[in-house]
A = this chain, B = another copy of it.
């Protein structure tokens, strides 16, 4: 099954993490690949790395839109390595029940990864695993291919009333 969480609202990454916890609770094996999320900053990483049956990879730890002075070539390179990791998963005899590709929609939107190639890889991965792809900006080709698509829609957000990002809530 291919699952997409998209939209401008909160809950895309956190719901994928909930999904990981749910799967691990059933003794399933999970592969979690994050883009643009610096290691050690997000609280969830500290818990997830301790859990059995989960492997975790982080690539392109910062996104140019959020952090100043990020080297764009480095980001593109890192996304290339992330795609190599996905190809490795396709060709591996190791099977994961769930593969979570966090913020890959953003990398697709910003053309850091090739859409056709990604679609092809996700199609292959979904033959043997449930695949979750998160992030704003999912391309229509991915939505068309997916079984389950949820838009997290912002109804109200405290940033707009001047409250800064909070530890334990946004990171």
Kindly state the separation between the CA atoms of A46 and B52 in the bound complex, as whole angstroms. Answer: 13
Taken together, the copies of this chain in the complex come to 2
In the complex, A147 has a CB within 8 A of chain B = yes
A148-B153 contact given A44-B22, A45-B25, A169-B3, CB 8 Å threshold: no
Residues of B within 8 A of A13 (CB): 18
A156-B149 contact given A5-B11, A18-B14, A48-B21, CB 8 Å threshold: yes
A21-B1 contact given A10-B148, A156-B148, CB 8 Å threshold: no
Enumerate A115-167 residues with CB–CB distance to B below 8 Å. Answer: 130, 143, 146-158, 161, 163, 166-167
- Measured as residues with beta carbon below 8 angstroms from the partner, the interface class of chain A is 35 or more
Contact A167 B17 (CB under 8 A): no
In the complex, A16 has a CB within 8 A of chain B = yes
Contact A153 B155 (CB under 8 A): no
